[in-house]
Amino acid sequence: MYLDRMHQGLWIWLVVASWLSTWVGEPEHQLRFRVVAPGLSPDSAVCVTGSPRAWGPWRPDGMPLHYRGDGVWEGVAALPTQTLEYKFTLGTWANEALDSRGLKRPNSVLDLTGDTVVVDTVLGWSDAQTEHPVVGQITGRLDMLGARTGPGLLAREVWVWVPPQTDPPTPIGRVLLMHDGQNVVDPHTANFGVDWGVDECLDTLVRNGTVPRTLLVTVACTAERGDDYGPGPQGQRYVDWLVSDLLPEVRDRYDVAASAPVTVAGASMGGLISFVAAERHPDVFASAICMSPAFAYAGFSYPDTLRSRSWPGNAVPLWIDNGTVGLEEQLQPGVDAMGTLLDELGHPHIVRIYRGARHFEADWGARMDEALRWVQNRERDSGL
């Protein structure tokens, strides 16, 4: 996944961190790129961008390649062992390598464990109008509530997915509230043309009787995502607005009983603010799902913050997970630190690591089934 407005705050912090940190005592491997780009002008700025710290994570001009003649560009990087993501650009996000269909390529993934040579041919490059391929569809009924806002917050779109009715009919028995709502259900509004697919996940779980009829409420991010989803004053205002304004409106509009439990969920900084929501309002949220959470980055550590104010924990079950590719590796220390703190507090939680998983909507959606099953069972065990 590359830099866009949705992830801008976190990426900037990680870029700063990459300037301040170095790989110490780790063996390095030579990673050589050889890109064949027929018809491209020899003075073109062919670059490799990706997750390695040495490239300034996801800078579009991260590692420039050098023209060697005959339509060939080459470059060599010295990197430690890691699983990395990369793609090719002409130095800006407006000009990415295209696939054989003329669509922007997905990220390539490479397990770097020794000296490696990557040879690729790029026949075309995007312009500002080129779109990502759209993958998936909307399953079931999705209502657009329009823009909503609260004190000190920018307006943002809200969508509600309505679960299928059961036989015999049953009322809505649960609410799932998710951040970055533009990426959750509709691939046409998703940043990269790929949504989480939570509509398909819930549709199957409800029809199978695995979970009660679950109303999915998705709230879009704004240009102030970094502040909205952070633990500071604006993040607190955002969470309080969800609790005091949005959830009551949704319960009233869709006739959801006050007793129906609410799970809050998100990924990356959305995972962090989901934790903050459960921490701040344990009386409202019955559980939280924190995927690839940004618990620590660029000198910030939320586990340390919680320790400094002697947070005692609470009874809200927490699902915490992470992948192992690219940015996921950089977020792992924060996941480990939070897991240690929760163990010490005896706070109900689980930490799952998914080998080969990326920091990407499709990867998060693939494990939502397991996360939803876990939080429901844990809430039941806790008597919630």
Domain co-membership, 288 together with 376: yes
Query: CATH code at 310?
Result: 3.40.50.1820
Domain co-membership, 89 together with 59: yes
| Full domain range(s) for residue 33 | 5-121
Query: CATH code at 87?
Result: 2.60.40.10
User: What is the tally of structural domains in the chain?
Assistant: 2
Contact 152/234 with Cβ under 8 angstroms? yes
Domain co-membership, 158 together with 288: yes
Domain co-membership, 113 together with 146: no
Domain co-membership, 233 together with 362: yes
Say how many C-beta atoms besides its own lie within 10 A of residue 238's C-beta.
27
Domain co-membership, 148 together with 105: no
Domain co-membership, 85 together with 154: no
Domain co-membership, 60 together with 179: no
Q: C-alpha angle with apex 103: 120 to 43, nearest 5 degrees?
A: 50
Domain co-membership, 347 together with 240: yes
Digitized pLDDT (tens) for each residue of the chain, 384 residues in all: 333 444 444 544 444 444 334 434 568 999 999 999 998 999 999 999 999 989 988 999 999 999 999 999 999 999 999 999 999 999 999 999 998 878 888 899 999 999 999 999 999 999 866 766 777 899 999 999 999 999 999 999 999 999 999 889 999 999 999 999 999 999 999 988 899 999 999 999 999 999 999 999 999 999 999 999 999 999 999 999 999 999 999 999 999 999 999 999 999 999 999 999 999 999 999 999 999 999 998 789 999 999 999 999 999 999 999 999 988 998 999 999 999 999 999 999 999 999 999 999 999 999 999 999 999 998 866 555
- Report d(CA 225, CA 178) in Å as an integer: 14
Of the residues 121, 152, 178, the one at which a domain ends? 121
Domain co-membership, 175 together with 288: yes
Domain co-membership, 328 together with 238: yes
Domain co-membership, 205 together with 351: yes
DSSP SS3 for 36? strand
